[in-house]
Amino acid sequence: MPEFETIRSIIDRKQPLFDDIAHQIWNLAELRFEEKESSKLLSSVLEQEGFEVDYNVAGLSTAFTASYGSGSPVVSFLGEFDALSQLSQKPSISYQDPVFEGESGHGCGHHLLGTGALASAVAVRHYLDKHQLPGTVRFYGCPGEEGGSGKAFMAREGVFDDIDTAITWHPGSYNSLFAFESLANYQVSFRFKGKASHAAASPHLGRSALDAVELMNVGVNYLREHMIDEARVHYAIVNSGGLSPNVVQAEAEVLYLIRAPELSQVNALYKRVQDIAKGAALMTETTFDIHFEKGCSNYVRNHVLEEQMTAAFQAVPAVSYTDEERSYAKAIQASITEEERTGFFKDIEDMLPDDQKNLLDTMKNKDLLEDVIPTTTKKGKNIGSTDVGDVSWIAPTVQCFTTCFTAGTPFHTWQMVTQGASTAAYKGMKQASLVMADTAIRLFESPELISKAKEEHQSKLAGKSYICPIPKGVSPSYVR
């Protein structure tokens, strides 16, 4: 068992720095693959801590790796730092009020995610030195998770091939393991081309690309009845062809996100969506091009690593909140709908072991959940996607949630942005860094656990090897 007090003293001493880094990244709010200042900030801190930093990893200008130590095992931390568009919001208030209308904001807490993972890497680096433990601790600066699958691009180039394990986390509204299998996905745009014409004087001469987009969307909506329950298909018209209704739209584009539990299912669904696009083009006498933007794999759980992270959670003291923090959480609750809160607690109920469902009644009376929610090894469903899944196909991977936001806060909302700069959020970040660092050191001190994790990993894959869902030649897609 690691000397937890050593880990805590390292992080305690540097916590003001970590809080400041998270706050700076929150203010920067840089979008996918454009996180130049956020990436520079994190990498410079790691350089100051004695890590050897490699930049422009996998041809991504904001991706980097930072390594300390040498040899095996190689235990890695995954950090993200990208924001979301259209989510600008003033900090630490209980009502929607953007800083700048239409600008970006950290609506998924990645300013906390990357900084918390960095704090863990720094703590482990100093712990290895103090106890003269062999091995390498590595931090991965992973850009473009939101709609970009940055880790999948990095995985395609072999960036993770030499690691033994990967550890990460995600800011959330409860403390627990990430005990789910996420969905794999493709993100693909369909760009239709037709022929412009005067919509009143000569409509018969025009061929509407917008009609093609609309017909494609109708066709896909009819497809929903004939796909597996776990699959999801979403779309956005990103180019409607202009602003004048008196011009037949010569160009139009629709962006699709196709999800399913396994990549083979995503691919099969993608082929059916392509056929619908062909039908829409035939009906409108238009043509279309397909632009494959990104994809990511489903997440593979590792119960050996989850056991160690569970033990780490038990070693880390529960967070205590001030009256002011609880009052603020309660104020945010007023902006969260009953449906959102009910769905949140239903997800927790699904996670809980059957003999501990009674814990739910106590949780429902709280705004900030400080207790650790137990999980089971049974297959858990998560209808979201994460490019951490691609790393989990390459090496045993484990991740957790910690409480950074009030119970029921929906992801990708102004409520998450505004709470992301609060003291409660920074407390959750610190708890995550302690849990991840403790987990990593357990692996350094007992390398046989890594061997067991790898055995389970190979068993789960059942002879399958990792194939990146993003074809060679596809470049990262920036926010439009």
Confidence of residue 12 (pLDDT cuts 50, 70, 90): very high
Confidence check: pLDDT of 3 > 90 = no
Rounded to an integer, what distance in angstroms lies between the CA atom of residue 15 and that of residue 84? 26
Nearest Cα to Cα of residue 113 among 405, 474, 442, 473: 405
What is the DSSP pairing of strand 184-193 with strand 232-239?
unpaired
What's the mean pLDDT in 145-157? 97
What's the mean pLDDT in 358-367? 90
Peptide bond into 73 cis (omega under 30): yes
Rounded to an integer, what distance in angstroms lies between the CA atom of residue 165 and that of residue 77? 9
Contact by Cβ (8 Å): 88, 100: yes
Q: Does domain 184-296 have CATH number 3.30.70.360?
A: yes
Q: Which residues of 179-191 are buried (b: 16+ CB within 10 A; e: fewer)?
A: bbbbbbbbbbbbb
Percent share of the chain, pLDDT over 90? 91
Give me the residues paired with residue 140 across strands. Answer: 65, 78
Contact by Cβ (8 Å): 74, 87: no
Same fold, 4-180+298-461 and 184-296: no
Confidence check: pLDDT of 285 > 90 = yes
Confidence check: pLDDT of 254 > 80 = yes
Q: What is the pTM of this model?
A: 0.95
Residue boundaries of the structural domains of the chain: 4-180+298-461, 184-296
Looking at residue 103, its pLDDT comes to: 97
Homologous superfamily assigned to 4-180+298-461: Zn peptidases (3.40.630.10)
Residue 229: which H helix or E strand, with range? none
Contact by Cβ (8 Å): 79, 63: no
